[in-house]
Structure 1
């Protein structure tokens, strides 16, 4: 099915250290029916061809062979409208926190939604900047005294929840309660809006570029709770444009 979640969900691994973990993640994905894998700056440039990656993939070589390697998370999220960062560590200014099951319930029913799951490195996880490029933060419920999962285990768990949500069919969609729903804005469109809005706030004198404090992270958190649509992003950018023009007069 061209619009099934299996063709709409991308798995992104950021700065992965061990090629074996990449291969194991590919195997976990294929076991649950997913195939789109993107690596952001893996430790080894030839990580996809490393012996450990091939060995741990164990039958999922097609996932490795079709995987992409990019330099930035923004490139990895190209075309994505709803990205979720995986982290066991909660952040003060993170986007909304959801469970794996809640994430799956959001992305499975929306046939028009391009989604991504973003996993950090084995040693450091994800940076705050990477988390803020996402619209949600997935926190896996685990033993609070030892909440560390292996990368491939985390991939397997999320892939499983997404498969179950896809197989169970559309659930109660809260979006249907708000009437017409437009196309969700892509990650690139939302990032462009933040840049434009920040420029407008600086021109207005509301934001001190030399001492920005936490204003933009707070605004990011606010907007990440809304699920911005393309038209809404365009409206906000239009407002920002008029503010900039008015300040220059």
Structure 2
């Protein structure tokens, strides 16, 4: 394999190689699986149909990832597919007697992220026969997905989705998943929160939900409840607005 230039982004360093894929729909589904995880380099080695990426089934299963299909590279052999790579990982549910070292998807993803000099290929075999030994022997590692030993065969697109997901998570997807989603306002100050509790307590007394002579632990429990929510200023204002409305309605009823 040729020595590549270093690129620290795994999304630019990782390609997905499909060997002798039979069904155009699977190629389309793979393109979709790749795109959902942010990967774009797809290489097809001698697919059953030379125009597979243009077939209606492939386009339908790509479902929005037609750009991945359009940019897919079609080659005649594994050597061309691995051109520019200095690391290749073969996927197989069947362990081989003379295979390269066996690893898991998660361990592999961690290796690829930790070593930014690796331009890597994930190599997947055909739906019926998997990968031949001669291709596996060209790879640095053999990936074995720890699945149900009584039924360990995954659909091609499912296998690609799993590998792409692990790669994305290792590349920082866990931070993406944990990042705030949607609008988050300013956190309420302690003074604002205390004012809300005082206002809310008055309203609860007014509607006779809270007995001031026998309050028990109601306000303490409400404080504990709201402390788990990390109240924002706007939320405090909403709760005070509810309390204000309750007090106003009680006052109006009493005046009548």
The TM-score with structure 2 as length reference comes to: 0.64
Q: In the alignment, which residue of structure 1 is the partner of 2:13?
A: 8
Once the two structures are superposed, residues 90-144 of structure 1 have per-residue CA deviations (whole angstroms, 9 ceiling, x without a partner) of: 0000000000001101101222210010000000000000100100000000001
Aligned with residue 22 of structure 1, among 27, 31, 49: 27
Q: Does 1:120 align with 2:120?
A: no
Q: Does 1:148 align with 2:148?
A: no
State the 1:3 CA deviation.
2.7
Once the two structures are superposed, residues 55-107 of structure 1 have per-residue CA deviations (whole angstroms, 9 ceiling, x without a partner) of: 00001011000000000001000011110000000000000000000110110
**Would the aligned equivalents of 1:9 and 1:36 in 2 still touch at CA under 8 Å?**
yes
Q: Does 1:133 align with 2:149?
A: no
Query: How many residues end up aligned between the 2 structures?
Result: 168
Q: In the alignment, which residue of structure 2 is the partner of 1:201?
A: none
- Between the aligned partners of 2:160 and 2:20, the Cα distance in structure 1 is 15
- Between the aligned partners of 1:82 and 1:96, the Cα distance in structure 2 is 13
Q: What pairs with 1:188-207 in structure 2 (closer than 5 Å)?
A: none
- Between the aligned partners of 1:90 and 1:13, the Cα distance in structure 2 is 19
Q: What pairs with 1:69-218 in structure 2 (closer than 5 Å)?
A: 69-167=74-172
Name the SS of the counterpart of 2:146 in structure 1: coil
- Between the aligned partners of 1:108 and 1:122, the Cα distance in structure 2 is 28
**Would the aligned equivalents of 1:77 and 1:116 in 2 still touch at CA under 8 Å?**
yes
The TM-score with structure 1 as length reference comes to: 0.66
Q: In the alignment, which residue of structure 1 is the partner of 2:197?
A: none
Name the SS of the counterpart of 2:59 in structure 1: helix
Name the SS of the counterpart of 1:108 in structure 2: helix
Q: In the alignment, which residue of structure 1 is the partner of 2:244?
A: none
- Between the aligned partners of 1:42 and 1:151, the Cα distance in structure 2 is 14
Once the two structures are superposed, residues 141-165 of structure 1 have per-residue CA deviations (whole angstroms, 9 ceiling, x without a partner) of: 0001000100000000000000000
RMSD: 1.1
State the 1:168 CA deviation.
6.3
Q: In the alignment, which residue of structure 1 is the partner of 2:55?
A: 50
Q: In the alignment, which residue of structure 2 is the partner of 1:60?
A: 65
Name the SS of the counterpart of 1:10 in structure 2: strand
Q: In the alignment, which residue of structure 1 is the partner of 2:213?
A: none
